[in-house]
């Protein structure tokens, strides 16, 4: 990116929003720009504003989840991904992202379910296959450990 481009893009989006404060896609675009410039809190606010205006904007919900995850707010990211998946059940990426969160939360059975669904939607994705294998192994280990504790 050339110097000044993010700032000019921000000014252009601010202008668009001053003209039409109900322009949800401008809030979403400004959120994406904020993510790219490292302003995660601002990004989350813009994504949430876009969703308040257009509740079925699944891309804003998915982007909000990514920003929340990057901030370390795992529970909020999970809520945003659940919201995005209510709108778009055909996105392998959304299921994969939620599966990663479930692994972070040490819920391998849920992660396995999401990775399996993602792989059903994108059967040639080798990264999804590897994630599914990781979740299965973690789930098997958890089940073996639980059985040993009885």
pLDDT of 17: 97
Q: Would you place residue 146 in the very low, low, confident or very high pLDDT band (cuts 50, 70, 90)?
A: confident
Instruction: Give the pTM.
Output: 0.88
| Helix 58-71 and helix 24-36, axial crossing angle in degrees, nearest 10 | 30
pLDDT of 10: 95
82 vs 62: CA distance, rounded Å: 9
Q: Is a pLDDT exceeding 70 seen at residue 2?
A: no
32 vs 64: CA distance, rounded Å: 9
Q: Is a pLDDT exceeding 80 seen at residue 149?
A: no
pLDDT in tens, 3-59: 579 899 999 999 999 999 999 999 999 999 999 999 999 999 999 999 999 999 999
Percent of the chain with pLDDT over 70: 96
148 vs 7: CA distance, rounded Å: 58
Q: What is the largest CA-CA distance in the chain?
A: 65
Q: Work out the average pLDDT over 79-102.
A: 97
Q: How far is CA 96 from the centre of its chain?
A: 9
The whole-chain average pLDDT of the chain stands at 94
């Amino acid at each position: 990116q050339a110097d000044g481009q993010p700032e000019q893009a921000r000014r252009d989006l601010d202008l668009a929003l001053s003209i039409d404060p109900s322009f949800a896609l401008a809030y979403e675009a400004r959120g994406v720009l904020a993510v790219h410039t490292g302003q995660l809190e601002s990004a989350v606010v813009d994504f949430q504003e876009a969703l308040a205006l257009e509740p079925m904007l699944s891309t804003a919900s998915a982007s909000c989840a990514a920003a929340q995850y990057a901030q370390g707010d795992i529970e909020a990211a999970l809520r945003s991904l659940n919201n995005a998946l209510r709108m778009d059940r055909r996105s392998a990426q959304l299921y994969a992202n939620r599966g990663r969160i479930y692994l972070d939360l040490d819920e391998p059975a849920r992660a396995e379910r999401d990775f399996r669904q993602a792989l059903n939607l994108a059967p040639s994705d080798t990264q999804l296959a590897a994630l599914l294998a990781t979740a299965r192994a973690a789930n098997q280990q958890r089940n073996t450990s639980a059985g040993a504790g009885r």
